[in-house]
Copies of this chain bind each other. A is one copy, B any other.
Amino acid sequence: MEQQRHQMQAEMQGEYDPITEHAEAVCIDSAEDEASSFRTRSLKRSASAMTHNETSQTAMIGVRRCHIESLDYEIPDNDIFNENWKAKTGSEALQFLISKWTMACLVGILLGFVAFMVNACVENISGVKLLSTLNFLEQDRYVVAALVLGGGNILLVLLSVCLCACLAPEASGSGIPEVKAYLNGTNAPNILSMKTLIVKVLGSIAAVSGGLYLGKEAPFVHSGACIASLLCQGGSERFNLTWKWQRVLSHDRLRRDLVTCGAAAGIAVAFRAPLGGVIFALEELASWWRSELLWLVLFTTACITVVRQVINNLCEGGKCGIFGNGGLIVFDMSEVSTNMRLMALIPALLLGIVGGILGSLFTYLSGKIMKFYSNWHRKNECVGKVLQALLVSAITSFCAFGLPWLASCKPCPSGAECPSSLPTGIYKRFTCSSGYYNDLAGLMFSTNDDVIRSLLNNNTNNEFQYSSLLIFLVSTFILTLITYGLAVPSGLFLPVIIIGATYGRLTGKFMKSYIGFDNIDEGLFAYMGAASFLGGSMRIAVSICVILLELTNNLLMLPWTMLVLLISKTVGDLFNVGVYDQIVIMKELPFLEEKPEPYMKHLTTEDVCSCPVVSLSAIERVSAIVEVLAKTNHNGFPVLETTPASPYPTLNGLILRSHLLILLREKELFFQDACDPVCYDTKSGKIDITKLMSGKGPTMSDIRLTAEEEGMFIDLRPFTNTSPYTVKEDMSLAKAFSLFRQLGLRHLCVIPRKGGPCPVVGILTRHDFMPEYILGLYPDLKISKWRRIRIRLSLFKFVRKWCC
């Protein structure tokens, strides 16, 4: 490794180095020779690393490659901030608290209305579409029915894909991976903007009504996150006039907390599962959480539940069109007989294994298809997306209309409304004669919710035929796969539940007839199947348990649900990662896992850290700052100080790019003489620096300086974070990773082991911890992938040894 690194350094020796020019300006009073020689070496070395590291600073957002920034959860520790903090009185802190909770409540209320709108629109549009198709079918006008269904679907999908492709590519997909990455500290442009929100909501309505096999649940999560983020920005800007204190505290941390609330509220409103939302947010989405956050999230989901209850009360009696059957429980299964004893372990085990295998297969195939789609996009972006979506929509409509012809008609059961007159009914006549129904049409000609309801339904053991369920399973599996990569807002929850419930019901039907599990309802098998496929594809545990509990209101199934989830997740993990994690990897979002990768123990911080260390002096010339800002894209700069006592400069702290830009705008802070420490104290007192630091900071293009101003100096010390976290250059990367990840840092200074001419040898950022970057530097470490396979192989060996 060492050899390789030195070789790389040597290769870079000839390159142009923009920073060397002002290196003199930095170490003014220090032992100049040594310092500048060090800095040159350091710059050279890291220039090579930087080239490598560029790759991990972009990611796919929607279908475009964007520049990614890290968020900074460290509270700055500079003089200005501290003074302001000390000045904060109790009542200001209280006002902050109240406004935080008000915002959390507002997130719940707003998302509640958005969700109502989406639900009402989807149910009405698709209801009208399905009803008219069925009417034409009953009149034997097959061509017209096909045209109505196919045409309606294609128009709706066209609307959705045009919105996503042209207006906001960030809104396509489920949004959960992006929200997860945001909560991990990754900021991608536009991911939580107003435009994204609007397109997400409208696109989701159109795509779901258009009959595609996708859910509206994950888009709620993304919408909730958008609403929270917008409230945070808008709120802080709007209240700037009245509430001074909020400026300092409108920090990335508060926004992170509220975005967590919004995402949790999304799940809460999608599944009418307030607890499930809280636990999903904490288990799957949030990377950092505290018990205070737990209360805030719980409050948001309580608010949204109350809003939902109010809207449902208002909508009673058909006032909102077909939208209706309010209640808290979506798929009520509480009446299902659960006389399941220990014997139920057998189907739980079986379905768990099947779910794990199918779930990982689904993840694998969806990855392949998404790659195929994105290659297509690269060649022909806008047209490609639209064509894909239209093609998939056409295939979906063809399946919906064509496949039910394959099923034979079944006689209506006695006592049920058959064929159903409402679009929500299970018994669709389709082309059957009176008194008969087509079971496959019942599955194909319904909204996702109704399909799940009829699959989970109890006491309907002979409602579906083997052939219909099998056709439905295969077609849904394929359609979901080809739909998920499209450039439309698409959730996975409902399609996954449908697939799982279908094979669960198939298994149940088989076991009841051939193995003799007579006392278990087919609906319960469907339920366990749904749990197993959720666990196998998403690899989420506790929140899925809670969500399923709240969806079905069947507490007695809980132990079996837990077992099924544990088994399917374990089986799935043997093959690949979960579907959301796969998307995070595919989109190259710089996600910091909880634990360091094993190979990080073999590396030291020095081996990977970002260089060149472009540092500034405590009292720096304006022109030097401008140059550094213009020529690098770093966001943090170490500030070095020279004292007469020591021969070498010492580290004063770290200053952020955003703060430097503000300082350059405030020309009152400039002064003529580099050796006049008095000038700062008087000057800075005049300016309310915290006010300037809030809101959107200036960019480089906003800075206009005269030649005279450029020759002046700024005292950076009061604006410097004087105690950044530091690690030594020989600390193992795994330990540095833990520090970086646990504290949610953006910059981590690497200091030399033994002291020496320069107090900072490098800066670690999020990108330096990314596997692709590290493995790019040290390809020798890549064997770890094979090792994982070896571990899997040894598991099989172990099991075999243990069994025989």
Contact = CB atoms under 8 A, between A and B. Distances in A.
A298 B279 CA distance: 13
A731 B76 CA distance: 11
Interface string A290-305: 1110110011011001
A91 B283 contact: no
Interface string A79-93: 000100110001101
Nearest to A273: B558
Contact of A790 (B90, B290, B559): B90
Interface in A760-804: 787, 790-791, 794-795, 797-798
A238 interface: no
A684 interface: no
A794 B90 contact: yes
A290 B289 CA distance: 11
Contacts of A754: 643, 645-646, 650
A798 B562 contact: no
A371 interface: no
A735 B755 contact: no
A727 B345 CA distance: 53
Interface stretch (A405-413, A594-602, A610-618): A594-602
Nearest to A298: B541
Interface stretch (A54-62, A225-233, A547-555, A687-695): A547-555
A541 B558 CA distance: 21
Given A550-B555, A550-B558, 5 more contacts: A90-B794, A292-B594, A302-B563, A310-B342, A648-B755
A20 interface: no
Given A562-B302, A739-B743, A794-B94, A283 B274 contact: no
B739 A562 contact: no
A524 B9 CA distance: 73
Given A291-B594, A732-B723, A558 B98 contact: no
Interface of A: 74-75, 77, 82, 85-86, 90-91, 93-95, 98, 274-275, 278-279, 283, 290-292, 294-295, 298-299, 301-302, 305-306, 309-310, 313, 328-329, 334, 341-342, 345, 541-542, 545-546, 549-550, 553, 555-556, 558-559, 562-563, 565-566, 569, 594-595, 601-602, 643, 645-646, 648, 650, 722-723, 725-728, 730-732, 735, 738-739, 742-743, 753-755, 787, 790-791, 794-795, 797-798
B725 A602 contact: no
Contacts of A85: 601
Contacts of A563: 302, 306
B787 A90 contact: yes
A314 to B, nearest CB: 11
23 contacts: A77-B731, A90-B790, A94-B791, A94-B798, A275-B542, A275-B546, A278-B542, A294-B542, A295-B566, A295-B569, A298-B565, A302-B566, A305-B558, A328-B555, A329-B555, A722-B730, A723-B731, A723-B735, A726-B727, A726-B728, A738-B743, A739-B743, A742-B743
Given A542-B298, A791-B91, A98 B723 contact: no
A584 to B, nearest CB: 14
